[in-house]
Structure 1
């Protein structure tokens, strides 16, 4: 046997390709080998940017004695949790059931059929109070396997049955939509705001204590709720403002280069866990863009949010953008400093380093060092992240902006953290949506270009016309099929991109993804994370055995939205554009699960609550029709931009050209970068142009100028042609006038 990870596409697996441990990738072959050798399977799960995964690797997996013990007594399997969330999900549930906690690295011992019987997270190389060493764990597991096999089998069987029941209980019925009760849904949303406020950290901001994570889905809900007119809208606005202010003014936010770290080790946000994840930053960029267009608050002004959004967008495109389009998954927590790997080494500064970088402006260097609480001098060796912990004054902002290029240049000369270049479909969908929304708010066409390049990659590489690959590397999709969150996340991005560009190929692709998701993940009236197929892209027999054959669904919104809540949002948007009662009913069925999720805490239902806000808003629809070239095109585009800047939750915006003018999505054969109507695999060919139902029977004005149609609940106001009138209708919710003069 040898280590079999060298040829793997996953950066995390390749990090372990030189270990003396005889690792192999997750798959039926590994479990068959364990059965042949009659040994347990050791499953180690992590991801490329994980600091403690690196620590355990250095301490144990690179140690020849530990490797020898692993190789002699186990079949050893490495899993990239970001590539295989299905594998991570079942074994993380097993660890939590056994120990009451979880995390990464995840260390699981399983029977040759895949059923777990012992699990933990990080194990140190030497015993610590209350914690055995990793080699002691290996010895104990091997002894139990040899001497108490019956007990091991009983433990595995009981755990598998428990997991099967857990996953079955989480499945959602989507056969028939419940009767929609707007008042009840509004009460649920308002109650969630109040409950969130009860868990707020009134000293440091955010929710709960250490470790403290960015509550990204919850923030999107609060921003959407704040856009409404309910009794708790003002409270939601203040709560969101305090949380965003605390995060953006803390060490969690990279004030120099942009982007947010994954979490803070401390409750006061002062000590980041420095890995930077695409899914975090995509969501937070979108929240900041939405907060800016909402107008901010006294706690966190819109101009400060705009600056943070712009920096984060720049970082996302610069640091995670890939040459062929799309965005890498993450940047590592560790980077080299003084010749050794240090967590956060790339981001921290001593006062002396800061002064040296600004040697040409020593007075300014001293001012910045003082601003960030850094001492300057021969003995000032403590390194810290740059943050003031408070809002910067106008002169302080000007000082930082003036020297930002020099400081970024000095930092760029350091050894940067490693990047995991795998493209995860669902996370890229969230990034596309964020960049599309931010492009309008920040008035930056370059962000829209980046979003379209990413969408081109997903549509051309990940999508084959019927199935979506979860992961690609170097422009090639792997054999791992997308999970529900991938299909729904890409649909979310495609809808946002259509709203921003008017290119109907993105609308058509979003509808394809939504219909593929419902077709693959709704089986016998139940919504599951697992498609029914049994090819290599889905959970293998070992995973199914580990949960007693049950299908799975994790409906909880954690660091990223769940597949179920993303699908609910995509279905609702699809219904807004198409008028489809089927899509609307399926969204309502998923929203019916809110009370059960909220019983476990509102922070587990943040995105689904955000979808509920879109449903309560209608969702509102705005169809902009007019010339897209010629002298009157600016009028059409001005109305379009006004619609995009509306804070109404879940607003569906459609842009259509009047007959005889150029469409934004070119006809077959018309040259354009990546445009054209979609076909299987995202290719361009001569197909019938897609018609967006929301644009049907929407003529321009008699004089050829543009008109805006604002609709809600399938009823539209009289069309308008001025920015002020459009703004008034959008603020009013688009309901028809009392005299019944609304037009269908």
Structure 2
């Protein structure tokens, strides 16, 4: 990369934008300067969107954005804006939808052409510098758009208006959605609908390698979580088998880093062997969350170990000094994808000496290599089966393999690491906070408790605006918080507050969840209980306000907010919030039942409303010790409160007298059961639907 050039991105903090700060392209960040320049010069805007861990984003930069001739073409005809999709997911959502409508597919890098007032009219993803792969070259696209703007401007502006109208209609379909189903309608809240969601999920299940659908395969942890919840209430062995098979194959595959912990974003093949090697904070947070459920159900050490190893990865690779968690590690190092993570057999032989043979056999390492003349460590046979087949002691074999992995880790640390995206994103931190707090609680781990408390304090210190409201920022880096927080930032943080209460029984966390929810209702609502907008009402630099409802790589802010509103309504006795949450579910119910793989968090919320919500209150002198015993059990869909005395501020604790012995109170489906002194007495009621 030549540093002879400098553009205005040099003033930015995003690692992705800074990667382009020395391109000969005259890049701007999205903001007033660039948008006003486009209006003043009456030029088409080229918005190029990507993220720091995106392999093909790097490829297009090297091929085209560092090319002086191509850059001159861009500078002459366009106002060129670089956008980090993780900093501005609101813009990415709008323009990704536009490109998918135009081209039928999307991805990153995302290159979209806008009228001077920001309305999209043409776009695509990666373009090669010369015609190849049945794609037009990037220079051809640039020249074609420039010519069309001069010669067919009226057509382009009309196309842009039509596209905006289409995006408004499709993106905010809930505004006009009608449903004949009411909140107490038996057609929605039936176990038959839950069985149908299960069948629709299993129609896509890979019963050999785990997961769902074909390559590229994503972990899809929400689907696994739904299957675990579904099996709990139905006893369906197939659901449990597919959920655990999926987790096992992910943890055995090359998508999981056997040396350093943590999982990559997705696998390029059906067997979880070869990932795109970028490691994102949110993927690892979501994996920890579902592994906690698997451990509670099975008590298998492999899940406990994976929880701790994945959190260890976050601590060692993605944690700043004050308790914040960084966004991601790149896929590439030294310009080569995966170079940091792969091994030749010769390298392993040199490090492990006499133990190399057994290690290589277990981790599928060969002379030829299992991926591009190298080896990605993966496990093809569970260690128990491998030990029996090789007539080895399983415990000693485990210790030997762990020792070998440690030696390889010591060698790997000397390699050039993938670059770090060191911005700190509120929503992703909240997902990690929720997962770590959950792990700390179920594993009774004081170190993890301190990690969660430190992260929570970091979020409160650095993301909440100092204007006396509960307004928050979206990103933080180098002492500066930027951009208004989006719906999912708030939704995930509120969900994390519930988990922090469960960990500490400090009711301040519940009050904070309520206060931030009030802010969301006031600033993101459409006023009709038809789901929340992604952006707050006072944000002015987007051409439309979208509503995100799909549970994709991240849960949708709306599905999480629906569950949040329901919980808070039961804790603080706010019936309006429960009504809103059910209306949100009703509007999305038809799509959820038909396509549960794309609405898996909604599917869980629907199942909750069928089987019922558990309101547990443990009152008395020994309430906290007794709550620990309850925590040993997998109990989906609950709020558990513990207090030495009843407390009228919180509905589950209201008018529940203490006694010499602590008592467990359970209310469910508008029925309260007789208080019990031991968990055994109410387990029967907990597991009934």
The two structures have a TM-score, normalised by structure 2, of 0.92
| Alignment equivalent of 2:641, drawn from 646, 651, 654 | 654
Which whole-Å deviations, capped at 9, do the CAs of 1:82-136 have from their partners, x for residues lacking one?
1111100110011000110000110011110111111000111221141011112
Looking at structure 2, the residues matched to 327 and 221 of structure 1 have their Cα atoms a distance apart, in angstroms, of: 27
Supply the RMSD in Å over aligned alpha carbons.
Answer: 2.5
Secondary structure at the aligned position of 2:570 is classed as helix
Paired residues for 1:95-244 under 5 Å: 95-171=99-175, 178-181=182-185, 184-185=188-189, 186-229=191-234, 233-244=236-247
Looking at structure 1, the residues matched to 25 and 262 of structure 2 have their Cα atoms a distance apart, in angstroms, of: 36
Tell me which residue corresponds to 1:322: 320
Tell me which residue corresponds to 1:643: 630
Find out whether 1:626 has 2:584 as its counterpart: no
Tell me which residue corresponds to 1:693: 651
Find out whether 1:581 has 2:575 as its counterpart: yes
| Alignment equivalent of 2:587, drawn from 589, 593, 607 | 593
Please say which of residues 118-127 and 443-452 is displaced more in the overlay: 443-452
Rate the CA distance shift 1:73–1:403 in 2: closer, same or farther, 3 A: same
Greater relative contact order (Cα 8 A, min sep 6): structure 1 or 2?
Answer: 1
Looking at structure 1, the residues matched to 503 and 136 of structure 2 have their Cα atoms a distance apart, in angstroms, of: 55
Rate the CA distance shift 1:312–1:331 in 2: closer, same or farther, 3 A: same
The two structures have a TM-score, normalised by structure 1, of 0.85
Residues 38 and 44 of structure 2 are in contact (CA less than 8 Å); yes or no, is this contact kept in structure 1? yes
Looking at structure 1, the residues matched to 295 and 330 of structure 2 have their Cα atoms a distance apart, in angstroms, of: 30
Looking at structure 1, the residues matched to 594 and 81 of structure 2 have their Cα atoms a distance apart, in angstroms, of: 34
Rate the CA distance shift 1:40–1:136 in 2: closer, same or farther, 3 A: same
Looking at structure 1, the residues matched to 276 and 22 of structure 2 have their Cα atoms a distance apart, in angstroms, of: 26
Paired residues for 1:232-631 under 5 Å: 233-295=236-298, 302-336=300-334, 341-358=335-352, 362-375=353-366, 382-393=373-384, 394-395=394-395, 396-464=397-465, 465-478=469-482, 480-525=483-528, 526-531=530-535, 533-534=537-538, 538-540=539-541, 543-544=542-543, 547=544, 551-598=545-592, 601-627=595-621
Secondary structure at the aligned position of 1:593 is classed as helix
| Alignment equivalent of 2:666, drawn from 687, 704, 710 | 710
Residues 120 and 164 of structure 2 are in contact (CA less than 8 Å); yes or no, is this contact kept in structure 1? yes
Residues 508 and 690 of structure 1 are in contact (CA less than 8 Å); yes or no, is this contact kept in structure 2? no
Looking at structure 2, the residues matched to 618 and 49 of structure 1 have their Cα atoms a distance apart, in angstroms, of: 41
Residues 42 and 108 of structure 1 are in contact (CA less than 8 Å); yes or no, is this contact kept in structure 2? yes
Residue 619 of structure 1: CA displacement?
A: 1.3
Secondary structure at the aligned position of 1:527 is classed as coil
Looking at structure 1, the residues matched to 569 and 178 of structure 2 have their Cα atoms a distance apart, in angstroms, of: 16
Which whole-Å deviations, capped at 9, do the CAs of 1:481-526 have from their partners, x for residues lacking one?
1111111110000111101110111111111122221222212314
Residues 504 and 691 of structure 1 are in contact (CA less than 8 Å); yes or no, is this contact kept in structure 2? no
Rate the CA distance shift 1:210–1:175 in 2: closer, same or farther, 3 A: closer
Looking at structure 2, the residues matched to 176 and 490 of structure 1 have their Cα atoms a distance apart, in angstroms, of: 33
Looking at structure 1, the residues matched to 210 and 431 of structure 2 have their Cα atoms a distance apart, in angstroms, of: 25
Secondary structure at the aligned position of 2:8 is classed as coil
Looking at structure 2, the residues matched to 174 and 692 of structure 1 have their Cα atoms a distance apart, in angstroms, of: 35
Looking at structure 2, the residues matched to 208 and 245 of structure 1 have their Cα atoms a distance apart, in angstroms, of: 17
Residues 81 and 87 of structure 1 are in contact (CA less than 8 Å); yes or no, is this contact kept in structure 2? yes
Looking at structure 1, the residues matched to 178 and 515 of structure 2 have their Cα atoms a distance apart, in angstroms, of: 19
- For structure 1, the residue ranges without an aligned partner over 5 or more in a row are 297-301, 628-634, 660-688, 734-744
Tell me which residue corresponds to 2:12: 8
Which whole-Å deviations, capped at 9, do the CAs of 1:671-691 have from their partners, x for residues lacking one?
xxxxxxxxxxxxxxxxxx994
Secondary structure at the aligned position of 1:227 is classed as helix
Residues 437 and 499 of structure 2 are in contact (CA less than 8 Å); yes or no, is this contact kept in structure 1? yes
Residues 613 and 649 of structure 1 are in contact (CA less than 8 Å); yes or no, is this contact kept in structure 2? no
- For structure 2, the residue ranges without an aligned partner over 5 or more in a row are 385-393
Residue 657 of structure 1: CA displacement?
A: 3.2
Looking at structure 2, the residues matched to 482 and 381 of structure 1 have their Cα atoms a distance apart, in angstroms, of: 42
Looking at structure 2, the residues matched to 304 and 532 of structure 1 have their Cα atoms a distance apart, in angstroms, of: 42
Which whole-Å deviations, capped at 9, do the CAs of 1:345-364 have from their partners, x for residues lacking one?
11111122222222xxx222
Aligned residues: 669
Residue 539 of structure 1: CA displacement?
A: 4.6
Residue 175 of structure 1: CA displacement?
A: 12
Tell me which residue corresponds to 1:79: 83
Residues 280 and 329 of structure 2 are in contact (CA less than 8 Å); yes or no, is this contact kept in structure 1? yes
